[in-house]
Copies of this chain bind each other. A is one copy, B any other.
Amino acid sequence: MKKYPHTTRLLVAMDCIVFGFDGDDLKMLIIKRNFEPEKDKWSLMGGFVNQEEDLNVAANRILFELTGLKDIYFEELQTFGKVNRDPVERTISICFFALINILKYDQGPVNEHNAHWISLKNRPNLIFDHNEMVDLALEKLRYKAALHPVGFELLPEKFTIPHLQKLYEAIYDTPVDRRNFSRKILSTNLLIDTGEKNEKSLTKKAILYSLDQKKYQKQFNAFHYFISDFSNAK
């Protein structure tokens, strides 16, 4: 079969925002570029799509290179393609974001990338249009987490409700009422009481829950309204 006569072929990159939660702050992974242009500046992790590589394969490869993890939750955000977004050469970038359990993050395979976890609260300036990407990723995370039980992806297998609440407070940067939050979460029936308690606590030890994976998969697209109309919240 002949090829298309259209001559314009473009570099296709993928860039990823990896979110994590350390128990207090919402964090993201960025790298310090070790090549020109913009050497030593902060950047998202990315890479080019290879000729014989499906997009989701490329995304998984990039995520593995950055985190040492496989089977991570991620979803596409948007494809960025302004003509001059990369000063070196016209490059379109398929941007996506991932949610990982920060405790599983394996620094081993990624030393060469000079990766760092930084808090979303005081993030540095990033190269190119990467700031825009992070803004959009945060917006979409907030949207998604308000309606779907996606927050669990950021937590360990066993977690307490106060732990989950702190995550939501970090995502939305707003305080949440303990009692209403607890009721709302439990009413989803997604949590299984493990019978264990959080021994790390200095005072009353909270119940450790695990996620009912079966229900989680099934209900993922159902609405839950974990956060009410965040678009009007400040």
For chain A, give the interface size range.
Answer: 35 or more
Least CB separation from A48: chain B residue: B6
> CB within 8 Å of B: which of A68-82?
76, 78-82
Decide if A88 touches B10 in the complex (CB within 8 Å): no
> In the complex, what's the smallest C-beta–C-beta distance from A63 to chain B, in angstroms?
16
**Interface membership of A223, Cβ < 8 A:** yes
CA of A153 to CA of B108 in the docked complex: distance in angstroms? 51
Main secondary structure of the interface of A (DSSP, over half): loop
CA of A130 to CA of B136 in the docked complex: distance in angstroms? 27
CA of A49 to CA of B6 in the docked complex: distance in angstroms? 10
> CB within 8 Å of B: which of A38-80?
48-55, 76, 78-80
- A1-42 CB mask vs B (1 if < 8 Å, else 0) is 111101011111000000000000000000000000100000
Contact A1 to B88, CB < 8 A, known contacts A222-B232, A223-B229, A229-B223: yes
Residues of B within 8 A of A163 (CB): none
Instruction: Give which listed residue, B10, B89, B231, contacts A10 with CB less than 8 A.
Output: B10
CA of A3 to CA of B48 in the docked complex: distance in angstroms? 14
**Interface membership of A165, Cβ < 8 A:** no
Decide if A49 touches B229 in the complex (CB within 8 Å): no
Residues of B within 8 A of A98 (CB): none
Decide if A92 touches B4 in the complex (CB within 8 Å): no
Contact A83 to B53, CB < 8 A, known contacts A4-B91, A89-B3, A223-B229: yes
Decide if A79 touches B82 in the complex (CB within 8 Å): no
Decide if A88 touches B4 in the complex (CB within 8 Å): yes
Least CB separation from A225: chain B residue: B223
Residues of B within 8 A of A80 (CB): 55
Residues of B within 8 A of A52 (CB): 83
CA of A50 to CA of B37 in the docked complex: distance in angstroms? 25
**Interface membership of A198, Cβ < 8 A:** no
**Interface membership of A194, Cβ < 8 A:** no
**Interface membership of A87, Cβ < 8 A:** yes
**Interface membership of A114, Cβ < 8 A:** no
CA of A104 to CA of B4 in the docked complex: distance in angstroms? 33
